[in-house]
Amino acid sequence: MTSRQSPLDFLDNKLGGGVEAAIAAEHRFRLRRHGHAALLRPPAPGTPAGWVDGVPVRRGNRMEVLVDGEAALRRMQEAIEGARSHVHIAGWHSSPDFLLRPEGPPLRDLLAQKAQSVPVRLLIWAGPPLPVFSPSRGHVAKDRIDFQRDSRIECELDKRERTMHCHHEKLVIVDDEIAFVGGIDLTHLGGNRLDGNRHPNDGRLGWHDCASVIQGPAVVDVARHFVDRWREVTGRDVADPRQSEPAGEVDLQILRTLPNSIYGFLPDGEFSILGAYLRALRAAERFIYLENQFLWSAEVVDILIDKLRNPPHPDFRLLLVLPLRPNNGKDTTRGQLGRLLGADSHNRLLATTLLGPTADSPGVYVHAKIGIIDDRWLTIGSANLNEHSLYNDTEMNVLTLDEKLARTTRLQLWSEHLDLPADQVDGDPSSVIDTVWRTQCDEQDPVSAAHQDPIHRVRRISGLSRRVDRLQGPLRGLLVDG
């Protein structure tokens, strides 16, 4: 126990570390038992962040990154309206009266209109078996009735989940030719999913999110995932997806979390999102940039701590964009941030959040799930950095090693968050973090403390001790993540 720790803090830390170790041991056992031990092996020293073994690399794709719901949802609606063969949607939750565009029809009407000419299939998580969190099974069952009433929409509910977990991927697939993979749910739950890059104050919680739209051979892997789930849930057959011709020059992998013992078509599951993150974070050389709703995973944080204590380069930096108040698991994220702060003796870490336009606005919730490493590794999808997404929920991410796309995406995000033209956030990423990100946070901190209207869109996540709620996070993981 250090002189700065109270006996309670010391006990909290020791017990928290012990529970984390037990959970990590269970994860290792589970991965080995189901044939995924290779994911745990660190790459050879000097190995750059790369592809995940065992997952096909699809060549010749077109990929575009759509930042925030206003842009992404508009493109989804346009693709659905143009469908010639079928529309397949899989998600955590979908609201029948959800608008993809302010002036557009509700989701139910949009899909019902299209279902008059092509099959429209909607696969939604059925909700938790006990009404412990939203959406409840009763809520989802009512939504299903609303989708199918007086329409040809096929809407099915998937109850095949690990206890206290869910189906969390967010997919829209049109004609097996175009697929949207990201973090944007077609639901009213949470906040303003239709929010734009400016995040104006309209009385609702602002929402920062991201999706990718892909065309080309990689779409077949997204489409196959949907078809396999649909067949097993419904018992009804659907035509096998066909692989598209090349549509661009981007190489892609479609990564998943598919828990073991859930589906007969893959009884040992798939944990390629976990494998991608572990390998890439270990291989990081100059900087790691993570936008995520949650930072719970002790395995991920252990790697980040090692990077902070043993930096691979003198200018190594770790930049985080997280919600100030996650809608659940706040104590879990705070505990892991406390661990990172405790390891950051050379000021290499900057943990930030996003602000609304006024002091009294509801703020901007970070719901995006993005990782960019060294401007040569980029992943976007539905997976949070917690045990739910990496081990226990169904998830899907897109991974590319396209350096141009990784860098362009980073500049697009930094330009929005810092409210500066892209050319003013260009340059060496570590230098921009130190000179622009830190400067804006330093200027914003006293403004936020005074509860005045923000002068910048970003602020440092502050008011956090070096050891905060270390035990609560592992206990949550022991109950629902093990």
pLDDT tens for 252-267 read 999 999 999 999 999 9
CATH code of the domain covering residue 238: 3.30.870.10
What pLDDT score was predicted for residue 463? 55
Same domain, 405 and 433: yes
Cβ contact 114:120 at 8 Å: yes
pLDDT band at 467 (very low <50, low <70, confident <90, very high): very low
Residues 134-153: pLDDT tens digits? 899 999 999 999 999 999 99
Same domain, 429 and 336: yes
Same domain, 351 and 316: yes
Cβ contact 168:395 at 8 Å: yes
Same domain, 189 and 207: yes
Same domain, 50 and 141: no
Q: Is this structure's pTM higher than 0.85?
A: yes
Same domain, 90 and 191: yes
Asked if residue 3 belongs to a domain, the reply is no
Tokens standing for residue 271: 């944990």
Cis? peptide before 129, omega within 30° of 0: no
The residues, any chain, with a CB within 8 Å of residue 138's CB and separated by 6 or more, are 127, 131
Same domain, 91 and 188: yes
Phi, psi (deg, nearest 5) at residue 308: -70, -35
What's the Cα-to-Cα distance from 407 to each of 79, 267, 402, 413, 457, rounded to whole Å? 27, 37, 9, 10, 21
Instruction: Say if residue 363 is exposed, middle or buried (CB neighbours under 10 Å; 0-12, 13-18, 19+).
Output: buried
Asked if residue 6 belongs to a domain, the reply is no
- Final residue of a structural domain among 207, 228, 245: 245
- Final residue of a structural domain among 245, 266, 291: 245
Give the domain range for residue 234: 62-245
What is d(CA 238, CA 218) in angstroms, rounded to the nearest whole number? 19
Number of domains in the chain: 2
Same domain, 329 and 364: yes
Same domain, 181 and 321: no
Cβ contact 121:89 at 8 Å: yes
Same domain, 27 and 68: no
Tokens standing for residue 247: 């549509």
Residues 423-449: pLDDT tens digits? 999 999 999 999 999 999 999 999 999
pLDDT band at 332 (very low <50, low <70, confident <90, very high): low
Same domain, 350 and 230: no
Same domain, 120 and 196: yes
